[in-house]
């Protein structure tokens, strides 16, 4: 069994054992300023739909509710904590000031509709609720755009997993090459992270 198949099996076993509650909690965390990508969660829910363990309706509903809950928490942090909170505690969430500044500019330029489109943009979707809270965006509009964007994005990721599982045996014929790509990508991420940390300490 290759690395890709090994990891996939263990993630699926974990989600299956913990049920829909794990989907809710993980997507709640994903919608906060924490580095847990939905791309590493929702596709495996699609696997379990193929296996008859989960249903489409519950996966989309629970994941969207989790996204709303996490976004609402970030909204409150932005509303009551603002920039001082992240200047003091941002490092614990791996949130950098330039990430927050980028999100601020994005929100200020495009307004409330940004909450919808940000669901499809890496980094931005984890932070966009913060400037929404800081600007006191009206809650009904915030919840509506969050729910709509999250439902579409979560459904898309789940569908990718659904299709992958249906073609899993064929894909695993190239598992060796996928494993190598994963290792190379991981090494590159570590190298970039270490290089950035060293650069920061030197400045």
CB atoms within 10 A of CB 6: 12
Helix ranges (DSSP H) in the chain:
3-18, 20-30, 42-50, 56-80, 82-89, 97-110, 114-117, 124-127, 129-134, 139-166, 168-171, 175-202
pTM of the model: 0.76
Task: Please state, in angstroms and rounded to a whole number, the distance separating the CA atoms of residues 50 and 198.
Answer: 46
Largest Cα–Cα separation, the chain: 54
Task: Please state, in angstroms and rounded to a whole number, the distance separating the CA atoms of residues 126 and 70.
Answer: 9
pLDDT (tens, 9 = 90+) of the chain, 203 residues, equals 565 566 667 788 888 899 999 999 999 988 886 667 777 788 889 999 998 999 999 999 999 999 999 999 989 988 887 667 766 666 656 566 666 777 777 777 777 788 888 888 777 777 788 888 888 888 999 999 999 999 999 999 999 889 888 776 665 555 555 556 656 665 776 676 566 656 655 55
Name 127's Cβ contacts closer than 8 Å, sequence gap at least 6.
33, 74, 95, 99, 100, 103
């Amino acid at each position: 069994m290759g690395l890709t198949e090994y990891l996939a099996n263990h993630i699926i076993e974990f989600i299956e054992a913990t049920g829909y509650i794990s989907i809710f909690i993980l997507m709640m965390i994903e919608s906060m300023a924490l580095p847990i990508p939905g791309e590493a969660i929702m596709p495996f829910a699609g696997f379990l739909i193929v296996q008859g363990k989960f249903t489409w309706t519950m996966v989309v509903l629970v994941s969207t509710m989790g996204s709303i809950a996490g976004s609402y928490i970030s909204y409150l942090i932005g509303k009551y904590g603002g920039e001082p909170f992240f200047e003091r505690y941002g490092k614990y969430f791996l949130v950098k000031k330039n990430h927050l500044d980028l999100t601020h500019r994005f929100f200020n330029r495009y307004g409330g509709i940004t909450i919808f489109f940000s669901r499809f943009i890496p980094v931005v979707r984890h932070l966009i609720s913060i400037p929404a809270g800081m600007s006191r965006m009206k809650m009904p509009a915030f919840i509506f755009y969050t729910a709509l964007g999250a439902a579409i994005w979560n459904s898309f990721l789940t569908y990718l997993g659904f299709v992958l599982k249906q073609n899993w045996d064929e894909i695993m014929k190239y598992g060796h090459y996928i494993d190598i790509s994963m290792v190379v990508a991981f090494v590159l991420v570590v190298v970039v992270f270490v290089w950035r940390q060293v650069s920061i300490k030197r400045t």
